């Protein structure tokens, strides 16, 4: 039976009642509140990831990969905690998975307004479309399932962006 919003306490009530550990997970999981938008929360979460993506792109390739790995681990942890706190499967408020996915999209891609825009559009396309095996990854439970399908979308978007850049250079 699908879960409905009315069967669960609101995120504000959960935030007030939870421990500092839960509060930290909620803040990170909603990517500082960007996931609280009443519509297109994944798109707003991806937009809110842009400063981190740009900052990550300034550093060395190894540092960018390290940021992605750390963000992926934080995303899995916070997604799992928020999943448990809200008692909902893949809560729409959780957008830290989009942050990790967009970081992967832009990993080792030369940063410009054009690549950032194309990467954003490709990531959102693949995140919504979820071609195989992203759709299978989405069926995994908990934090890992919440994050893994976005990492797959990020991988597809990264490869698509590389193809665009390759053919645009001719």
What are the pLDDT digits (tens) for 112-138?
999 999 999 999 999 998 888 877 877
Burial of 60: CB neighbours in 10 Å, binned 0-12, 13-18, 19+: exposed
CB proximity list for 161: less than 8 A, separation 6 or greater = 105, 106, 109, 115, 118, 119, 122
Measured CA to CA, the distance from residue 69 to residue 49 in angstroms comes to: 15
Output the pTM of the full model: 0.92
Is residue 93 within 8 Å of residue 36, measured between CB atoms? yes
Tell me the pLDDT tens digit for each residue of 90-112: 899 999 999 999 999 999 999 99
For residue 13, the Cα-to-chain-centroid distance in whole angstroms is 24
Instruction: With CA atoms as reference, report the closest residue to 30 among 16, 20, 15, 9.
Output: 15
Question: Measuring CA to CA, which residue among 49, 68, 61 is closest to residue 124?
Answer: 49
CA 76 to chain CA mean position, Å:
10
Q: How many domains does the chain have?
A: 1
Give residue 94's domain range. Answer: 5-168
Instruction: For residue range 140-152, list pLDDT tens digits in order.
Output: 889 999 999 999 9
Mark out the alpha helices in the chain (DSSP H runs). Answer: 11-17, 20-29, 41-58, 61-86, 96-105, 113-129, 134-137, 142-168
């Amino acid at each position: 039976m699908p879960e409905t919003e009315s069967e669960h306490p609101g995120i504000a009530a959960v935030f007030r009642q939870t421990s500092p550990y839960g509060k930290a997970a909620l803040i990170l999981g909603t990517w500082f509140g960007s996931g609280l938008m009443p519509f297109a929360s994944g798109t707003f979460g991806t937009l809110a990831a842009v400063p981190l993506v740009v900052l990550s792109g300034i550093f060395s390739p190894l540092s960018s990969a390290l940021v992605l790995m750390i963000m992926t681990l934080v995303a899995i942890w916070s997604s799992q905690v928020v999943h448990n706190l809200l008692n909902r499967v893949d809560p729409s408020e959780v957008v830290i998975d989009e942050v990790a996915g967009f970081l992967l999209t832009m990993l080792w891609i030369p940063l410009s307004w054009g690549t950032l825009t194309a990467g954003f559009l490709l990531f959102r396309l693949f995140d919504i479309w979820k071609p195989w095996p992203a759709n299978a990854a989405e069926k995994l439970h908990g934090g890992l399932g919440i994050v893994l399908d976005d990492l797959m979308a990020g991988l597809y978007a990264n490869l698509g962006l590389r193809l665009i850049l390759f053919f645009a250079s001719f």
